[in-house]
Amino acid sequence: MSARRVCLAFAAAIAVASMPFASRAADPQEIVIGSILPLTGPSAQTGAGLRTAQTLAADLVNGHVSYPLPMVGKSGLPHLGHARIKLVFADSQGKPDQARAAAEQLITQEHAVALIGTYASSTTATASQVAERYGIPFLNPDSSAPSLTARGLKWFFRTTPNDATFAENFYQFFADLNRTKKIAVKKVAVVGEDGLFGTGAGDAEEEIGKRRGFTIVTRVAYPATTTEVNAEVQKVKAAAPDVVMMASYAPDALLFMRGFKDQGILLQGILAQDAGFIDPGFVKTEGKDAEGVFTREVFSLDIKHRNKAVPLIDQLFRLRFGDKPLDGNTARDIMGVLVLADAIDRAGSTKPDAIRTALQNTNIPGILTLMPWKQIKFDAQGQNVGGVGIIEQIQDGKYETVWPFDVAVKAPIWPMPAWKR
Amino acid sequence: MEALTTFAQLLAGGVLTGLVFALVAVGLTLVYGVMDVVNFAHGEFLMLAMYATLGLALIGLSPFAGLPLVAIALFLFGIVVYRVFIRRLLAGPPEATVFGTFGLLVLLQGLAQALFSSDFLSVPHPPLQGTLRFGGLAISQATLAEGAGALVLTAALFAFVEYTETGRAMRAVAEDRVAATLMGIDVQRVNGLAFGIGAACVGAAGALLMLSYPVFPTAGAPFALTAFVVVALGGFGSIQGALVGALLVGLLEVFGGFYLSPELKMVPVYLAYLAIVLVRPQGLLGRR
């Protein structure tokens, strides 16, 4: 290569390098939010959906088409000279140590003003520790382990309800049934697999039930890999509960359903913590026997009756994500970005302290969200106190929202139909 | 009265559960008895049989009609696996079969995951979904069919090994491989046959289990784990031992689960296992 060519190439390189600098000066400011998601690994499929959802939310904030949602359609953040938000993604691979490294990288190299993520409770736990150390706000839209907000962190905020909320919802549902239909539920059996999921849900169900004056007639924990549940079903039968609360995966959920039916156990209701009971195979396998089973959910497209943004956002999401509908995870992540953008805007600054104070003062009414929530308002631990779940019931082979009553599309069938022998 | 009904119910549950375990365990014990190979991929053979049954069900064959087809398919699959895989492992050090069959387990699970995804699938509208009632006792027809199938199968296998020429050859190989060869028995052929029959047994088991279980890539694993305990308890290589061991495990699991705690239901099973192998290392009906 001749000297002249080298010089030319060098000059061209300088010209190219200076271009983005020049154009950046003319653009409004860009505010970087670091997002940690499982983009590879076993949860990559979920991660891809969440990434699409968050990108959609950022575009909604930066755009100028308005929906009844916080911060949407104001062409960026008005209090910061219509600065645009920019999401920078980092991969957790679903592993706690990778999530920790991703948080470190986003804070030190990308200069993120706040972090969002990370879906799995275990990765959220480590990533939020890093944010705590650097004094950077961390918004968690989608992890449900109750322990996350019990760590006394100053910079951690969670918008989604946790597993204890769902247990609380079951009892609120009973109270509402009692108030409107004079239905009295007293005796509750708590059944769940003996892993983190079943134990956490079962503990909350038992503790909240006792506190609210219900009788927990039996607590059954069984190994999730069991191939028979004869003893477990006999325990439930002997305890003669009005309702059974279940936290089970698919094979064990099917074993219990068959056991309850074989033993002719008369239940007013089976209330499940989703998992096995919302598996696509559940209704297919159980057929008519699945009728009347209740399960909690975090979200349902039925919420369109409350906020007309839901079907619109669902359409936009489908366009971007291969016609897959908006679900609980993706809706929660869209809300997460909006809540964070709202806080940064109200802070009127990118200083971490100001954003943290703004998050503490967050107060968004539930009807301005995509969720069934009452509001978004954080307590001292950073947990959203307005979070609620939905209760669905299998009616005619479909999952229909039956609670909260203001979101419901169908009335609950209570008691659930007796087993057909 | 109530307590008595519960006891009877648990007894029935334990026996039927035990028979299901026996069904899965007989194939395992036969292969061990003849060629000293513990097939760690046994549960995955079961899983394959369950998928095969499901496939046949989707084209309209009920699990009962599908059973002989699945058993034959697994028999052929077993012979192929023996010919291309196990036979070579047998030529190596004893650990080779352990690692080899474990590798087969990982491979088959991975393949199933890739081909069928990790969803739970079940036979649409399986037969025998009703419940039989005898006074206070309630027994699911599907479990009864599985138990009955297991009894018939175990008896047939026992008769085959005990009274046929091929069965005698198998016992001879089990007794003394070298002497059997000297007597003109084709050890390779007998081994292959035993592996095929073991796989056919688990094939029949898979077809029957589809009456009441869903299938997914790791569906066979918990059954196989119990089958190992059953075989060790009853005596490696003993068909009657598998039946006795399976009934014992089924009863201990169900009674332990009820009178102790469901979380601890495997504890009496493993305690009994420890106690028995301490006193009789060869298992209840095993030969030293």
pLDDT tens figures, B85-125? 898 988 888 889 889 999 999 999 889 888 887 778 888 88
Size (chain A), residues: 421
Can you tell me whether residue A368 is helix, strand or coil?
A: helix
Alpha helices by DSSP H, listed for A63-195, are 96-108, 121-134, 163-181
pLDDT at A3: 54
Kindly provide the residue ranges of all beta strands, DSSP E only, lying in B135-269, ordered along the sequence. Answer: 137-140
A406 phi/psi in degrees, rounded to 5 = -75, -15
Instruction: Give CA A342 to chain center in angstroms.
Output: 19
Do residue B119 and residue A261 have CB atoms under 8 angstroms apart?
no
- pLDDT tens digits, A210-231: 999 999 999 999 988 888 898 8
Give the number of other Cβ atoms within 10 Å of residue A67's Cβ.
Answer: 18
A105, burial (CB in 10 Å: exposed 0-12, middle 13-18, buried 19+): middle
Q: Which of A193, A191, A262 is nearest to A222 (CA)?
A: A193
Is residue B288 over pLDDT 50?
A: yes
Q: Are A247 and A270 spatial neighbours (Cβ–Cβ below 8 Å)?
A: no
pLDDT at A14: 47
Sign of the C-alpha dihedral computed for residues B11, B15, B18 and B24 taken in this order: negative
Size (chain B), residues: 288
CA distance A322 to chain B (A): 19
**Buried/exposed B23-42: b ≥16 CB within 10 Å, e otherwise:** bbbbbbbbbbbbbebbbbbb
- pLDDT tens digits, A336-386: 999 999 999 999 999 999 999 999 999 999 999 999 999 999 999 999 999
Is residue A2 over pLDDT 70?
A: no
Size of interface A-B (CB pairs under 8 A): 101
Answer whether A280 touches B (CB < 8 Å). yes
**Buried/exposed A364-385: b ≥16 CB within 10 Å, e otherwise:** bebebbbbbbbbbbbeeebbbe
Q: What is the mean pLDDT of residues A252-271?
A: 90
pLDDT at A163: 83
B118: its two tokens: 């990790």
A145 phi/psi in degrees, rounded to 5 = -65, 125
pLDDT at A227: 86
B63, burial (CB in 10 Å: exposed 0-12, middle 13-18, buried 19+): buried
HSE-up (13 A, CA, CB side) for residue B78? 30
Helical (H) or strand (E) element with B242: helix B239-255
Q: Are A159 and A139 spatial neighbours (Cβ–Cβ below 8 Å)?
A: yes
Nearest to A230 among B119, B131, B254 (CB): B254
pLDDT at B1: 66
Q: What is the mean pLDDT of residues B206-230?
A: 90
Is residue A18 over pLDDT 80?
A: no
Q: What is the mean pLDDT of residues A158-184?
A: 91
Mean pLDDT of chain B: 88
CA distance A36 to chain B (A): 26
pLDDT at B204: 93
pLDDT at A344: 97
Q: Which of A58, A38, A36 is nearest to A48 (CA)?
A: A38
Q: Which residue of B has its CA nearest to A221?
A: B263
Provide, as residue numbers in chain A, all residues whose Cβ is less than 8 Å from the Cβ of B2: 238
Provide, as residue numbers in chain B, all residues whose Cβ is less than 8 Å from the Cβ of A235: 258, 262
Pairwise CA distance, residues B3 & B6, whole Å: 5
pLDDT band at residue A243 using 50, 70 and 90 as cut-offs: very high
**Buried/exposed A114-135: b ≥16 CB within 10 Å, e otherwise:** bbbbbbbbbbbbbbbbbbbebe
Q: Which residue of B has its CA nearest to A235?
A: B258
Is residue B220 over pLDDT 80?
A: yes
Give the number of other Cβ atoms within 10 Å of residue A310's Cβ.
Answer: 24
* Range ranked top by mean pLDDT from B77-81, B148-152, B160-164: B77-81
Chosen for mutation from A43, A193, A230, A288 (greatest number of chain B CBs closer than 10 Å) is A230
Is residue A8 over pLDDT 60?
A: no
Which residue would you say has higher pLDDT here, B272 or A197?
A: B272
3-state secondary structure A51-86: HHHHHHHHHHHHCCCCCCCCCCCCCCEHHHCCEEEE
pLDDT at A19: 44
Which residue would you say has higher pLDDT here, A113 or B129?
A: A113
Q: What is the mean pLDDT of residues A276-284?
A: 81
- Determine what percent of chain A is predicted with pLDDT higher than 90: 60
Those residues with Cβ within 8 angstroms of residue B101's Cβ, 6 or more apart along the chain or in another chain: B37, B38, B39, B40, B41, B86, B89
Q: Which residue of B has its CA nearest to A259?
A: B140
Q: Which residue of A has its CA nearest to B262?
A: A222
Q: Are B17 and B222 spatial neighbours (Cβ–Cβ below 8 Å)?
A: no
- pLDDT tens digits, B179-193: 888 888 888 888 899
Those residues with Cβ within 8 angstroms of residue A405's Cβ, 6 or more apart along the chain or in another chain: A176, A180
What is the DSSP track for A274-343?
A: SGGGGSHHHHHHHGGGGTT-EEEES--GGGGGT-THHHHHHHHHHHHTTTPPP-HHHHHHHHHHHHHHHH
**Buried/exposed A151-163: b ≥16 CB within 10 Å, e otherwise:** eebebbbbbbbbb
Pairing of strands A269-272, A30-37: unpaired
Helical (H) or strand (E) element with B255: helix B239-255
Chain B interface, Cβ < 8 Å to A:
2, 6, 9-10, 13-14, 17, 20, 119-122, 124-125, 130-131, 138-140, 142, 212-214, 216, 219, 221-223, 225-226, 250, 253-258, 261-263, 265-266
pLDDT at B131: 84
Instruction: Let me know how many helices (H) and strands (E) chain B has, helices first.
Output: 12, 2
B81: its two tokens: 């696996």
Pairwise CA distance, residues A155 & A346, whole Å: 17
CA distance A11 to chain B (A): 52
Lowest mean pLDDT among A229-238, B2-11, B37-46: B2-11
What is the DSSP track for B40-100?
A: TTHHHHHHHHHHHHHHHHHTT--HHHHHHHHHHHHHHHHHHHIIIIIHHHHHS-THHHHHH
Pairwise CA distance, residues B195 & A235, whole Å: 41
Pairwise CA distance, residues A282 & B234, whole Å: 36
Can you tell me whether residue B132 is helix, strand or coil?
A: strand
Edge-first strand listing for the sheet containing A243-247: A215-222, A187-193, A243-247, A269-272, A294-297, A390-395, A398-403
Give CA angle at B246 (B242, B252), nearest 5°: 150
Sign of the C-alpha dihedral computed for residues A145, A146, A148 and A151 taken in this order: negative
pLDDT band at residue B266 using 50, 70 and 90 as cut-offs: confident
Is residue A23 over pLDDT 80?
A: no
